[in-house]
Structure 1
């Protein structure tokens, strides 16, 4: 079985976020980190080389593949900020309609900037996804 690359590390979240080149994206990432920390009551941790995550859970698939992953997290990417929302993002379609400019994947929410979304709605998605 292959080694999992996305494991919790001891790397500094602050140092990682300070390396985000775009100043607005860097500021947004610190704000998202604060939102997730407040919602979870947990300190952020690095997962792999590019995910800021909060908490952890153990999963095991029917195939036998298992591992640990953060409960909720995000990753600053070149094009956008990917937010990893537990339980699937489409549970929140009603809130997504009010969110503003975004894209979605299976379990991800992609935003370009907090300026383009309703931060209160984003906070509601984060909070509700943890319940």
Structure 2
């Protein structure tokens, strides 16, 4: 069985965030990090080289493959923020029309600028994701 690529690392979060470009992405990352810390009650931890996660969720697939992921996480990538919040979950999908400018992938929420979204709705989405992964 293949080893999971995304694992907790000892990469210093402050050093990683200092390297994030453009500056608006770095500023938005600080806001998302503070929100996720408040919602989770957990300290941030790097998962792999570019994902900032909070808490830990263990899973086992029907195939027997198992592993751990952060309960909630995000990555401040150059083109956009990627939030790992289970964007395809029905209760999250119901909130997306009120969020503002965004796109989604299988389970990810993509936001170019926090200024483009309703922060109260984003907090609801992050809270739902954290509560879902108990």
The two structures have a TM-score, normalised by structure 2, of 0.91
**Which 5+ residue runs of structure 1 have no aligned equivalent?**
none
Q: Which stretch shifts more, 80-89 or 116-125?
A: 80-89
How far is 1:89 from its partner? 4.3
The answer to whether the aligner puts 1:114 opposite 2:121 as a matched pair is: no
Deviations 1:19-52, CA, capped at 9 Å, x for gaps:
1021000000010000000000000000011100
- What's the secondary structure of 1:74's corresponding residue? strand
Cα 1:116–1:57 change in 2 (3 A) is same
Number of corresponding residues: 131
2:42 maps to what in 1? 42
Cα 1:89–1:18 change in 2 (3 A) is farther
2:20 maps to what in 1? 20
User: RMSD between aligned alpha carbons?
Assistant: 1.4
Runs of 4+ more than 3 Å apart: 86-90
The two structures have a TM-score, normalised by structure 1, of 0.93
Cα 1:90–1:78 change in 2 (3 A) is farther
The answer to whether the aligner puts 1:58 opposite 2:58 as a matched pair is: yes
Q: Quick one: distance in 1 between partners of 2:130 and 2:68?
A: 17
1:79 maps to what in 2? 79
How far is 1:90 from its partner? 4.1
